[in-house]
Structure 1
Amino acid sequence: MMGETPNEFQLNNPPSDGISAVKFGPNSSQFLLISSWDTSVCLYDVVANHLRMRYNHPAPVLDCCFQDAVHCYSGGLDNILKVYDFNTNSGTNVGTHDAPIRCVEFCPEVNVVVTGSWDSTVKLWDPRTPCSAGSFSQPDKVYTLSVCGDRLVVGTAGRRILVWDLRNMGYVQQRRESSLKYQTRCIRCFPNKLGYVLSSIEGRVAVEYLDPSPESQKKKYAFKCHRIKENGVEMIYPVNSIAFHPLHNTFASGGSDGFVNIWDGFNKKRLCQFHRYPTSIASLAFSHDGSVLAIASSYMFENEEMKYVPEDNIFIRNVSDQETKPKS
């Protein structure tokens, strides 16, 4: 079987269309949430390799997140934010945006759900009620966002980056421009909360620091990745996904070249590269203890329509410290 190795297997019954996000539960490596263009949000037990639960939106789902072990949130092209309770197997529409919801994240520090939309707003939602806790204008369509303690880093169209304080959304803490020349694809914050990693559609990743002081800003840098020389021509691929190892502050990057790389961002080193997957890496997620990496291999129509579209698959990989820990 393609890509089956002793430390890796494919999930049974994967979604039937493009996979938009994979997210592990907050405190176990057992449960994985997957949103898809087939309009579904699925909960898998990856230990038993079994689909536990599925619910649907009226349209493709672009992102999802766990709030706790028994509740998740999801949003997509129907503009609706849904909350789902696994215990009662029931869902509720929490609220809406004026355009598709691109990002859904939960911030445990502030106990708030954050959504980013193509309507150029970020909205906060109180999970206790659940209802809207405010809407905040962004300079353009929201493409990606990441929660960093009680701060929020938002990446919009036009290569804009905004840093917000979730406890006081009255003003923007920092306005930045991406240090990469091309469209932002993904932003993820370091677990130690010192900064974030940003990727672009043009095979580059930037490591940025939140502290605006000149000595911190001197440390930022960018590097090329997810590029392959074929017949003397360098093919350049979008870097679609970034996932941080929760303990080591190292990160995985997934590209449309079908490769997953593990990086030590502080020491500017690549730690390893896994085998090539059947198609684009659409999403990546480490489990809470960093022992397992979920890898969504899902064609993202970078080259328009293909006669033969590779199947959408999720690979569950047990990762070792050797692959993910900085070399001393």
Structure 2
Amino acid sequence: MAPSATQFELAQPPNDAISAVAFAPDSPSRLLVSSWDKNVYLYDTLATSGSSEEENPSHGALLRTFEHRAPVMDVCFGAHGREAFSAAVDWQVRHIDLETGDQTVLSKHEAPVRRVVYSREHSILISASWDSTLHIHNPSNPSLATLTIPLPGKPHAMAASPSKVIVAMTSRLVHIYDLSSLASALTAQTNDPPQPWQQRESSLKFLTRAVAAMPSDAGYATSSIEGRVAVEWFDASAESQARKYAFKCHRQAGGDGTDVVYPVNALAFHPVHVSTFASAGGDATVALWDADAKRRMKVYQKFADSVAALAFSPDGRYLAVAVCPGFETGMEDYSGEGRTRIFVRALGENEAMPKGKGK
């Protein structure tokens, strides 16, 4: 897809599949990307190179690459745009100083680390590993020992709202933890790990692929490998729980009249229009949805390959889209080299606004 006024492709993408993308909390242009090529990449998405006379000048600048010992499965920014945290297949959770390039191992799990999320409201980092544990860290106070919380299943997706962290596991298990309780337990150095604030069974029948938390702190959305998304609210009252719903998406009509179903790989809520969220799938498409109105707002032009990850910039003006071959047709002879691409879409003023709120 060629660069356009509203969408452009970043130069110097990773050499293999992308696992996560994340914008800095204090910048609409600093973007972190983690990859199976054992690197974390830091871009300035709004930098340009090449003369204006070139038909397709390069977009974005690769500021720095941070090498790891194994594929990197997730990355997030910390309290500001100068630090990051990574989760890798070598079992390690790392702190990365984005200015100096220094890396520090915060903890080591007993299996690959699948997800990391940082809560700026509570100054704690949560890592989720396939050893069926959460590790709770306070990066600003290294003297505090890491708090370990056992999980009843292998975690596959995790996201944090201002007050909660949602952990989706195998067997349709979903645990929701109160972040203030996790922070207090870490400070107290308790030997009795905090219990989940809520325990739920996923509304989706198949394995959870992604979780996104509402910026309003009201609830979350989950997606599955079987082309479905569910939207739920934290409030446990019967009235609130009656609002939850699930729907089919990221499917294509097959030649025999049946649907070809693709995994929904990524979800991201808009930081300004907080009922709007984006979904991305193995069908190579990205869609915008209004969670409150239960309607699809927009489907973007199809990409060349599966969409693996999404992120909105903190001001809501940009949407980063990571494209690379998926595993929908199997893993034999898999290679993301030459086909891994990162697009950044500049959103129109009302592009992500729920239709009922526009003029």
Pairwise TM-score range, normalised by the shorter structure: over 0.9
Is contact 2:16-2:335 (8 Å) kept? no
Provide structure 1 residue ranges, at least 5 long, that are not aligned to the other structure.
Answer: none
d(CA) in 1 for partners of 2:135 and 2:201? Answer: 22
Q: Distance in 1 between matches of 2:10 and 2:327?
A: 22
Identity of aligned residues (%): 40
Residue 234 (structure 1) shift: 1.1
1:168 is paired with a residue whose SS is helix
Q: Which protein is bigger by CA-based radius of gyration?
A: 2
- Other-structure match for 1:229: 253
- What residue ranges of structure 2 are gaps of 5+ in the alignment? 48-59, 183-193
C-alpha displacement of 1:51: 0.5
In structure 1, what is the equivalent of residue 72 of structure 2? 61
Deviations 1:282-317 (A, max 9, x none): 000000011000000011222113668560100011
Moved more, 70-79 or 88-97: 88-97
Q: Distance in 2 between matches of 1:11 and 1:4?
A: 9
How far has the Cα of 1:199 moved from its partner? Answer: 0.3
Alignment partner, residue 153 of structure 1 = 166
Rounded Cα–Cα distance in structure 1 between residues aligned with 2:71 and 2:252? 31
Q: Secondary structure at the match of 1:322?
A: coil
Structure 1 residue 88 displacement after superposition: 2.0
Give deviations 1:90-147, integer Å, cap 9, x for gaps: 1111111110000011001110011011010111111113364301011111111111
Normalising by structure 2, report the TM-score. Answer: 0.88
Looking at structure 1, the residues matched to 331 and 115 of structure 2 have their Cα atoms a distance apart, in angstroms, of 25
Matched with 1:204 is 228
Counterpart residue number, 2:151? 138
Alignment root-mean-square deviation, CA: 1.3
CA contact (8 A) 1:245 1:286 kept: yes
Q: Distance in 1 between matches of 2:334 and 2:107?
A: 38
What aligned pairs does 1:46-125 form with structure 2 within 5 A after superposition? 46-48=45-47, 49-67=60-78, 68-125=80-137
Rounded to whole Å, the distance in 1 between the matches of 2:77 and 2:333 is 36
Give the partner amino acid of 1:154.
V
Would you say the 8 A contact 1:104–1:114 is kept in 2? Answer: yes
Larger strand proportion of the pair? 1
Change (3 A) 1:17 1:224: same
Range with greater deviation from structure 2 (160-169 or 7-16): 160-169
Correspondent of 2:219 among 192, 195, 207: 195
Which residues of 2 match residues 239-278 of structure 1 at below 5 A?
Answer: 239-249=264-274, 250-278=276-304
Q: How far apart are 1:24 and its partner, in Å?
A: 0.2
* Aligned partner of residue 265 in structure 2, secondary structure: strand
Please give the secondary structure, in 2, of the residue aligned with 1:128: coil
1:46 is paired with a residue of what secondary structure? strand
Q: Give the direction of change, closer, same or farther, for the CA distance of 1:268–1:3 in structure 2 (3 Å limit).
A: farther
In structure 2, the CA distance between the partners of 1:294 and 1:92, relative to structure 1 (3 Å rule), is same
**TM-score, structure 1 length as denominator?**
0.97
Which stretch of the first structure deviates more once superposed, 310-319 or 58-67? Answer: 310-319
Give the drift of 1:151: 1.3
Q: Aligned partner of 2:198: which letter?
A: Q
3-state SS, counterpart of residue 153 of structure 1: strand
- For 2:5, the equivalent position in structure 1 comes to 6
User: Hey, what's the Cα distance between the residues in 2 that align with 1:60 and 1:184?
Assistant: 21
Q: Does 1:284 align with 2:287?
A: no
